[in-house]
Structures are given as structure tokens and as C-alpha cells.
Amino acid sequence: MEKILFEYKEKEPYLASTDCIDYNHPLVQEKVIELKETANSSLDYIQRAYEFVRDGIPHSWDIGATIVSRKSSEVLKNNTGICWTKSCLLAALLRANGIPSGISYQLLTRADEDDSEGYIIHALNTVYIEEADMWIRLDARGNKENVHAQFSLDEEKLAFRVREELGEIDYRDNHPDLDARLVLILQNSFNVREITTDFRM
């Protein structure tokens, strides 16, 4: 893995509270305090926050939920979310503790083996590791059979391997907020199972 995945120019956009990454919400602040009480370092806090979002918040599709969580505080309130808003929650937990975090995207097939069902935008997180002066990516989508994302500083261990032969794309980007098109889809959706995308980033 390259030592620095992304250029690191300004901290502020990756530390800001936004409508989707609403880390000033009491529910988010309560979880931040809980995580800080058990963490013994900034790096330990990052890993604990990541593993909480990955393992403690079920992915809506995995549990058959229909409720739409539209921002980080709603993911906590509803105890579920899709990758778009789970990434918002992880960013919120990190930013609230002064750790820069952003959102990165992949274009993946909806079907496991081919592109017969079209594509979907997958979101994951970028995190700045101050001790190592580098950005890494973490995928808190939630593990299941054939999905084994892990916390790692040495190599990316993400939820999905991008298959270019199927037209999948790893954008390797770094955005300070959830893409406005995804926000609009969430706002206009009332059943998370019906969410889809018909565009590329």
C-alpha cells in the first residue's frame, strides 16, 4: 500500500459537522464519550469506533430492515443503516474526537456474480492517521459471509474486491461529505430496500 493514499491539504473540511455527519447530536456525543472512556490512544479510539460501526450497527439489507437512516444520528437511533450512512456515522465519531475523516466510493455490481442487476454506489471511509502521517481507508459496511473487512494500517482490507472485468470502479477519492445525489436519494426514499443508483461518481 502506498504510504499516503490521498493528498492532505486542509483539515477543516474533514473535521466539519454537516447535515449528514451531525456529530454534535446528543446521541453521537454520547457514543463518543463511551468510546473515549475505553480507548487508550487516538489510534485505539479509531479502531474502536470503526469496529463499533462495523459490528455494532447492522447493515439494513443484511437484516431485512426497511427504515431509512439518513444521517449519522439516525443510524444510532435506528440501530441500522446502509453503507452510505454507516460511513457518515464513522466519520462523525472520528471528527467529534478531532480525527479527520472523509468518504470514498466504489461502483459495485448489485448481483454477486455478474452485472445482470446493474450497479450500486458503495461508500466507505478515509481516515487520517496523524501518528503515521497518512490517510487510510476503512470499510464499516458490516461483515458477513464472504465479507471480511478489517482495521489495518499496513494494507487495505475492505469489504469488496473491485472487479474491473465486470465494470466495477474503485474511485480512491476522498470527500468531506456524503455526495449530494446520495443525500437526495435518501431524502426521497421511504423503504431502504428500494434504494438504487443509476449514475457513476
Mean pLDDT of 132-140: 93
Dihedral (CA of 70, 68, 57, 119) sign: negative
Give the pLDDT confidence of 23-70 residue by residue, as tens digits. 999 999 999 999 999 999 999 999 999 999 999 999 999 999 999 999
Pairwise CA distance, residues 35 & 29, whole Å: 10
Identify the pLDDT of residue 43: 97
Single out the residue of 118, 116, 123, 71 nearest to residue 102, CA to CA: 123
Identify the pLDDT of residue 16: 97
Identify the pLDDT of residue 9: 63
Residue type, 37: E
Give the pLDDT confidence of 81-118 residue by residue, as tens digits. 999 999 999 999 999 999 999 999 999 999 888 888 89
Angle between helices 83-95 and 26-38 (to 10 degrees): 60
Identify the pLDDT of residue 10: 79
Q: What is the mean pLDDT of the chain?
A: 94
User: Residue 133 pLDDT more than 90?
Assistant: no
